[in-house]
Amino acid sequence: MLTIFRRSVAGALLFAVLAIAAPIAPARANGAASTRNILLLGGAATYLIIQHNRKVHEKYAQYDRQQAALSQERNNAYAAYSQEQHAYDQEVAVNSELKKEIAYQHEVIGQQRHQLAALNVHRSFADTRVSQVRNPKGRGVRQVAMTSYGWGTI
């Protein structure tokens, strides 16, 4: 209510100032100048409206480009995540196969040890013996370790 009153008072004051300051004599109107001014004002208004709409559409286009870029980043991130997940699953499968292979080898070694125990073989499969070899320059005898893997002497 108070704002309506203030607007009314402001409008009355403006009218009074214009009434006092405006010349009393009517303005002479030139028909050609009036038409020209109306056309120029209409053209200027049209130009301003077009420029405003262009700016608004540019802002909308920029916002849409930003949203598209964000969407592309999300899609790229999801694709990268999916690819890493697939690679991880493949590594898990490889590790599982390696565990199976190690378990099989362990089982074979256990069976071979059991077979050796059944044959009463008490020494290790690889037998290391120390032999004495003459030094070629005639300076005594050297001890040399020789390892045999069960093939006998060559």
The pLDDT confidence band at residue 49, using thresholds 50, 70 and 90, is very high
- Torsion sign (Cα): 20, 21, 27, 33: negative
Residue type, 149: Y
Closest Cα to residue 144, out of 127, 153, 135, 131? Answer: 131
Of residues 8 and 121, more confidence is placed in 8
Question: What value does the mean pLDDT take over residues 26-49?
Answer: 80
> Residue 81: what pLDDT?
87
Q: Which of 24-28, 29-33, 72-76, 97-101 has the highest mean pLDDT?
A: 97-101
Q: Which of 25-29, 34-38, 59-63, 147-151 has the highest mean pLDDT?
A: 59-63
Range of weakest confidence among 24-38, 100-114, 115-129, 140-154: 140-154
141 touches 133 (CB < 8 A): yes
> Residue 6: what pLDDT?
72
Question: What value does the mean pLDDT take over residues 2-11?
Answer: 70
138-150 b/e (C-beta count within 10 Å ≥ 16 → b): eeeeeeeeeeeee
Closest Cα to residue 125, out of 144, 145, 102, 147? Answer: 147
121 touches 142 (CB < 8 A): no
The CA distance from 125 to 141, in Å, is 28
Q: Any idea where the domains of the chain sit in the sequence?
A: 50-105
Question: pLDDT of 120-142, one tens digit each?
Answer: 755 555 555 555 556 666 666 66
Looking from the CA of 52 toward its CB, the CA atoms found within 13 Å total: 6
Has residue 96 got a pLDDT over 80?
yes
Q: What 3-state class would DSSP assign to 133? A: strand
DSSP code at position 71:
H
The pLDDT confidence band at residue 52, using thresholds 50, 70 and 90, is very high
**pTM flag (> 0.85):** no
